[in-house]
Amino acid sequence: MLNPDGVIIGNSRVNLGGVDMNRRWGASVLDRNVTPEVFMLKEYLQCLKSRVLMYLDLHGHTKGEGIFFYACQPEVTHQKDDKFFNTQVLEKTILVRALPTLLGKRSPFFNLARNKYYSLKKDGESKKLNTARVVSTQELGIDQSYTVESSFFCYSVPNKAGVRKPLTQKTFVRAGADLLQGVYTITFTTLKL
């Protein structure tokens, strides 16, 4: 956990100093004195370079139902004379969407419909440019960088329209096991390719 001092006093979004740590990852706003936890984690990830296959940033969500993912959509870069489809972008797109899709299909707690893949060029998400997910993708080169959002209250029961159940300690343990199984499946499938 990166924010124990904030969480212990009931702040799930900010640290003890009142700073939103998830908006302090970019080089222009990163400050070792304001968010030392972020500074050290980013430095550690930079040391690991290409050995990091995936980055998961776990958050609570006040409005959404279930557990869902936010990720950066790989950007298509075409040149004027480029007549061929960019297969590298297609491969990255499939890779980025694999884990959220797998969990949305296999686990009752993950909400496939709520997953979002942001194009930073198109969506103009300037307020997200300094988040862990975006910086991990753009600066650190970790294509599978996700913000995993979990509802504070419930999930929708699959195949039962309108039926919702609370997310409890027991369901979070099961959801965590599903997440780890998904990470294992995707990671080892990817390594074999």
Mean pLDDT of all residues belonging to the chain: 88
DSSP notation for 99-125: HHHHHHHH-TTB-GGG-EEE-HHHH--
Span 123-135, pLDDT tens digits = 555 678 899 999 9
Span 31-85, pLDDT tens digits = 999 999 999 999 999 999 789 999 999 998 888 899 999 999 887 665 555 655 6
Q: Check: CB of residue 6 under 8 Å from CB of residue 12.
A: yes
Asked whether the predicted pLDDT for residue 192 surpasses 70, the reply is: no
Distances in whole angstroms, Cα of residue 9 to Cα of each of 13, 35, 47, 59, 140: 11, 17, 32, 16, 32
Span 156-182, pLDDT tens digits = 988 888 899 999 999 999 999 999 999
Question: Among all residues, which ones are annotated catalytic?
Answer: 149
Query: What global pTM score does this model have?
Result: 0.87
